[in-house]
Amino acid sequence: MTDPATAADAVELAVAVAAFAEQAWDAVVGLPDVRVWLEPAGVESRADNTIAVVTGREDAVRVVDREPPHRLVTEADAVVAGRGVVLTTTWLLEPHEPGTTAVRVTTTGLGAAAAQDPGTALRERSATALSTLAVHLRHFAGRTGVGVHAWGPSRGRTADSGHERAHARFLAQVGILVPRQPLTIFRGVPQLTGTCLERRAGHHHSAALLLLDGPAPGVATLATTGTDPVHEVRAVLYWDRAPEIAERLSAQWSSWLAQP
């Protein structure tokens, strides 16, 4: 469970993970779907009436300080409330109870926007990052995974489509995702099997977190981001055939999300 920050100009959350500090450090620096939620991101409406996820340049996030296995600091260029800012994110990993590590993430640089919509969006994305990290370490600590990523505009989008409605519709189109219950994925949707661990409802970023056993063991996130909503599917798969399956699954989800 994450806990909110008290500082007015910072976004801060924390989680206790079932791993030693060295294992948690390896996951923070190595997993392809944990830090991604904290990179500069937004939704852009284009002149041709399409929308896209905007994550900036590949080199937008810079590591400016690292003290393995306890401290990682990154900087990222972003546009917040119409102005350019530099966001600084600090990861602190400290021993907690025996066999567990406290992971605290603090992002500064939003200024007054930290208490407004940009801060809410980043806080919600940070919560997804920490929940995903905790699941990886609980089930796949020390293993190397292969990433899956696909995104597309909200299906069946209308003029009054808000974030909450778009995410609920997305999950209803995918299948039946009830926390702590096996997945039921509908026919025509790229097939996943496993268990829905939790559903996180937010104002700007919502996500369902899945523990997969097929088509390969792993962790997946089905998310909706933005007030002009887009859907993202991210997963990390663990198996000797994971690269082949991840490539196929990314293509299948990209094709499904592109359908009107």
Per-residue pLDDT of 58-116, as tens digits, reads: 456 788 999 999 999 988 887 777 778 888 989 999 999 899 999 999 999 888 877 78
pLDDT tens per residue across span 144-157: 889 898 888 766 55
Q: What CATH number is attached to the domain comprising 136? A: 3.30.530.20
Same domain, 168 and 240: yes
Same domain, 124 and 182: no
- Reported as a pLDDT band with limits 50, 70 and 90, residue 6 is very low
- Given 142, 162, 186, which residue is the final one in a domain? 142
Nearest-angstrom CA–CA distance, 225 and 124: 10
Q: Determine which of 3-17, 29-43, 157-171, 214-228 has the lowest per-residue pLDDT on average.
A: 29-43
Same domain, 232 and 159: yes
Same domain, 167 and 210: yes
- Answer for the pair 194, 236: CB distance below 8 angstroms, yes or no: no
Determine what percent of the chain is predicted with pLDDT higher than 70: 83
pLDDT tens per residue across span 189-226: 999 999 999 999 998 899 999 999 999 999 999 999 87
Same domain, 218 and 93: no
Same domain, 78 and 175: no
Same domain, 225 and 167: yes
Res 49: pLDDT: 46
Same domain, 76 and 162: no
pTM, rounded to two decimals: 0.84
Q: Residue 1 above 50 pLDDT?
A: no
The alpha helices in the chain, defined as continuous H runs, are 21-30, 117-140, 163-174, 242-258
Structural domain boundaries enclosing 149? 145-260
Q: What CATH number is attached to the domain comprising 248? A: 3.30.530
- Given 98, 126, 142, which residue is the final one in a domain? 142
Nearest-angstrom CA–CA distance, 120 and 165: 18
Q: How many domains does the chain have?
A: 2
- Given 96, 118, 142, which residue is the final one in a domain? 142
Nearest-angstrom CA–CA distance, 242 and 249: 10
Nearest-angstrom CA–CA distance, 186 and 191: 8
Same domain, 86 and 59: yes
> Which positions ≥6 away from 114 have C-beta within 8 Å?
7, 8, 9, 10, 11
C-alpha pair distances (Å), 249 with each of 21, 72, 129, 160:
32, 32, 21, 31
